[in-house]
Structure 1
Amino acid sequence: MLISGASSEFLKLTQEQIEEKYLVSWKNGFLVDCSQVNLPICWSPFEQAAKQLTEHVEKKSIRETVLKLNGDHDIPKEKRQQLVLHKILTFLTSGYIWQDGEEDVPKELPWCLSKPLTRVSDALGVQPILSYPSMILGNWKMKNVDKPFEFGNVNAMYWTPGGDGAEWFIVTHVIIEQRFAPALDAIVEAMKHSSPGSEDNAKLVEALRNIPKVMSEMMYTFTKINDGVQPEHFYDELRIFYSGWGNGRNPLPDGLIYKGVYGDKPKTMKGGSAAQSTTLQLLDAALGIKHEGDQKNFLDEVRDYMMKEHRDFCDVVEENSNIRKYVDQCENDDVQLAYNKCIDAIRNFRNLHMKKVDQYIKRPSQRNDRRQAVEGLKDTGTGSTPYLEFLKRVNEDTKNCTLTKK
């Protein structure tokens, strides 16, 4: 791929312009700081209900509480306010639908949730379900902003029922996202120094070498999930709240009716999934890692669950990165070695993901004493895919992108 005029324009943007246009941060990656955002007072009853979600679900009172809410209010125009509202509404939706696991599941979402949820989702360019942007990216706060971004100094703002494990699960993913932040600069720098007329092998190698370091930090953080979430607890108690509906899966095989919206016809939705994180898709886009078949279709579909700005950032990088083509044609051994180490690092992270899926889903699903009220998720991930086979194929695609000397 030759660098287009559009790419030239993108590479002329300053760091500040990229951060503003694509809602990213050189400090915190794709995380969006909503910790100081306040909603108009009309949404206070929704906030209160979401903060008490665990209590309401335990008492089987979440549906009664939701039906008393008035959702006939204007959607905020400010982006972070919209994300906060989406977060609150989707946590309430998750509790409302999955209060009893797969038993006694309502077929429709009441108007007081469906109307504001679909409107704010349209405004953000995301889907009306609890997904990665609302559950992870905009759902954190620091206890002390002057201290490091670490476990113990980061809290979730909202979480599903499941005790401390529910919050730990969210915080682990928040910190993984924050650890990705240095890769943004590495990607942009690598794009610049592999573009026609601006080639610089030394600077390209320097930029590429930062990516394995980032992946190592992300992997280390990922392993910490075991410190606060037990596999059986995740499978039996947490996982149902992150699941979607439709695609022939019980108990909502046709999808969920969003009352008063979509002509009152059921809509299918994928549940929250790590595939909805922009991090690995951005690395694929930058490094020219291509996927085929069902895995490509799934990864394309989950982009609709990303924030529009993040999706756009991934798209512009994918359309304009010249990194792989340049490395493939370059005769400098250091350049190709640095590139292949990036591929290896991404493969290692995806291998770790497979191991965690095996540990937290496959093995717990084979227990005789597993919770029977979550059987619909037994053989698929929360994003509706046959999880291990999907991850295996994605990693094979990654391996196949290793470059060899000609």
Structure 2
Amino acid sequence: MEEGVENPAKDIMDTEGLLSINLSDFHVSQRVGFLLEKPLAELPAYFEPWNQVCSRMPELVMQHRLRQEVDKMDVLDHHKLQGYRQLRLAHLQLSFISAGYIWQDGDKGVPEKLPRCLAVPWCGLSKTLGIQPVLSHSDLVLANWTTVDPDSPLALENLRCFYTLPGGGEADWFITVTVQMELDFAAALKPVVSALKYAENSNAEKLKICLTQITDVVRKMKNSLERMHDNLSADTFYNTLRPFLTGWGGEGSPLPEGLVYEGVSDTPIQMNGGSAAQSSTLQTLDATLGIVHSEDKQDFLKKMRMYMPPDHRHFIETLEQRSKIKDFVKSCSCQALTAAYNDCVTAVVVFRSYHIQIVTKYIVGMSNKATRNKEYESVSKKGTGGTSIMPFLQGLRAATSACIMHTADGQVGD
């Protein structure tokens, strides 16, 4: 069945008389998780200008010719797109092209307006899809993947992206490693949904099994994240690739008021750039395990949900409303269950610690080097999502660690 743009959640009763979450109602897949199933690589012939410019985006940017090519483009009618996958691909293409258009000449060369030929269809598609007109995780990763060999397993070496950013094969690797972590997380979705049910009916033994399965997935995600070092240098990420994931607006931005989307709004619009917080994976874990962050960090995480496909943010919200896992573990005298919960939370802490190490290498360390690219000073130490990145990530880790429970004898769970 063709995947819809937005499908409200449906709660149905399971055989035990409990409300059961149906993943398909949120367009979440047990096979590929939050990734788009079978995304498209090209649009129909009418949209060939988008196909061509997006596929050539890195080379055109490096030649400082992308704006010249965009200026030749007509305003294409996005209403001619058919089906959800065409809508997602078109949004992806316009996001890549627009990022190149804005950032090809560095901070000092940013235009104050995005031309009508990009702005009108991009904003129209954003409204239809319920996501934002900026290059975000939903474009860069979720709709931008396929397999090299469709008959081989879904493994990192068998993944490739359709479209990429400046940085050559290293940019491809950044995208595909992130795709792999999304694929890893798919195995946690069924245990997450089952865990909610077992907490609701006080089944400690089955809940413990689910938590152990989720823990294994989080550890696998960390192993995949470790692969980032294999083929991505800090220099390429920081100086070549990263600027194109940046948003616009706010203090320190070369476009402090935001960007004017010509033909859509005469008032500048501010947008956060791509951020790991736009992935539904860790926000799903937080919601499931009852991890609550400080108000300012929670506000930012909720803001990042507006960059997710609507059904995915509704999934997270449903988990937040439904999950009684943390409360049940606290009230239960089963030390084995407490230990399983603590192991799961600890796995998330370890993942967040490793993410901090990645950020230290690829962003913080590079920002202190005299060799950094001075054309993009506005993103020197901030995350592409716009936060002061280290305090933010350290705060998330601290709040996660604080959820580790002590048993009745005063000890941390086994």
Q: TM-score range by the shorter chain?
A: over 0.9
CA contact (8 A) 1:34 1:84 kept: no
CA contact (8 A) 2:165 2:171 kept: yes
SS of residue paired to 2:146: strand
Report the counterpart of residue 59 of structure 2 in structure 1.
Answer: 55
Deviation at 1:36, TM superposition (A): 4.0
Aligned residue identity for 1:94: A
Equivalent of residue 35 in structure 2, options 31, 35, 41: 31
Report the counterpart of residue 318 of structure 1 in structure 2.
Answer: 320
CA distance in structure 1 between the partners assigned to 2:130 and 2:120 by the alignment: 15
Q: Which stretch of structure 1 is more off in the superposition, 143-152 or 382-391?
A: 143-152
Equivalent of residue 394 in structure 2, options 392, 395, 400: 392
Report the counterpart of residue 362 of structure 2 in structure 1.
Answer: 360
Equivalent of residue 107 in structure 1, options 106, 112, 120: 112
CA distance in structure 1 between the partners assigned to 2:209 and 2:84 by the alignment: 35
Tell me, yes or no, if structure 1 residue 44 matches structure 2 residue 68. no
CA distance in structure 2 between the partners assigned to 1:290 and 1:77 by the alignment: 40
Tell me, yes or no, if structure 1 residue 148 matches structure 2 residue 153. yes
Q: Which stretch of structure 1 is more off in the superposition, 308-317 or 28-37?
A: 28-37
- 1:91-146 residue CA offsets vs partner (Å, 9 max, x unmatched): 00000001112131111100010010011111111100000000001100101122
Closer, same or farther in 2 for the Cα pair 1:102/1:81, shift >3 Å? same
CA distance in structure 1 between the partners assigned to 2:398 and 2:95 by the alignment: 34
Tell me, yes or no, if structure 1 residue 277 matches structure 2 residue 279. yes
CA distance in structure 1 between the partners assigned to 2:83 and 2:288 by the alignment: 30
Deviation at 1:39, TM superposition (A): 2.9
For this pair of structures, how many residues does the alignment match?
A: 395
SS of residue paired to 2:283: helix
Report the counterpart of residue 215 of structure 1 in structure 2.
Answer: 218
Aligned residue identity for 2:64: K
Deviation at 1:168, TM superposition (A): 0.6
Tell me, yes or no, if structure 1 residue 70 matches structure 2 residue 93. no
- 1:250-280 residue CA offsets vs partner (Å, 9 max, x unmatched): 3111111111113x11111110011100000
CA distance in structure 2 between the partners assigned to 1:184 and 1:346 by the alignment: 15
Closer, same or farther in 2 for the Cα pair 1:121/1:310, shift >3 Å? same
Tell me, yes or no, if structure 1 residue 82 matches structure 2 residue 87. yes
Deviation at 1:72, TM superposition (A): 3.4
Deviation at 1:34, TM superposition (A): 4.0
Aligned residue identity for 1:336: T
Report the counterpart of residue 288 of structure 2 in structure 1.
Answer: 286
1:254-269 matches, within 5 Å, as 254-262=257-265, 264-269=266-271
Closer, same or farther in 2 for the Cα pair 1:250/1:273, shift >3 Å? same
Q: Which stretch of structure 1 is more off in the superposition, 68-77 or 163-172?
A: 68-77
Aligned residue identity for 1:69: M
SS of residue paired to 1:314: helix
- 1:276-325 residue CA offsets vs partner (Å, 9 max, x unmatched): 00000001011111111221111111010111110011111111111111
- 1:43-93 residue CA offsets vs partner (Å, 9 max, x unmatched): 121111100111211221111111222233133352222111110000000
Report the counterpart of residue 139 of structure 1 in structure 2.
Answer: 144
Report the counterpart of residue 298 of structure 1 in structure 2.
Answer: 300
- Taking structure 1 as the reference length, the TM-score comes to 0.94
Report the counterpart of residue 173 of structure 1 in structure 2.
Answer: 178
Which stretches in structure 2 are left out of the alignment for 5+ residues?
1-9, 409-414
CA contact (8 A) 2:75 2:120 kept: yes
Closer, same or farther in 2 for the Cα pair 1:106/1:34, shift >3 Å? farther
CA distance in structure 2 between the partners assigned to 1:74 and 1:254 by the alignment: 28
- Taking structure 2 as the reference length, the TM-score comes to 0.92
Aligned residue identity for 1:303: R
CA distance in structure 2 between the partners assigned to 1:161 and 1:118 by the alignment: 24
SS of residue paired to 1:210: helix
Report the counterpart of residue 338 of structure 1 in structure 2.
Answer: 340
Aligned residue identity for 1:298: F
Task: Determine what percentage of the aligned residue pairs are the same residue.
Answer: 36
Report the counterpart of residue 193 of structure 2 in structure 1.
Answer: 188
Q: Which stretch of structure 1 is more off in the superposition, 67-76 or 97-106?
A: 67-76
SS of residue paired to 1:355: helix
Aligned residue identity for 2:75: G
Deviation at 1:37, TM superposition (A): 6.0
Report the counterpart of residue 232 of structure 2 in structure 1.
Answer: 229
CA distance in structure 2 between the partners assigned to 1:77 and 1:332 by the alignment: 53
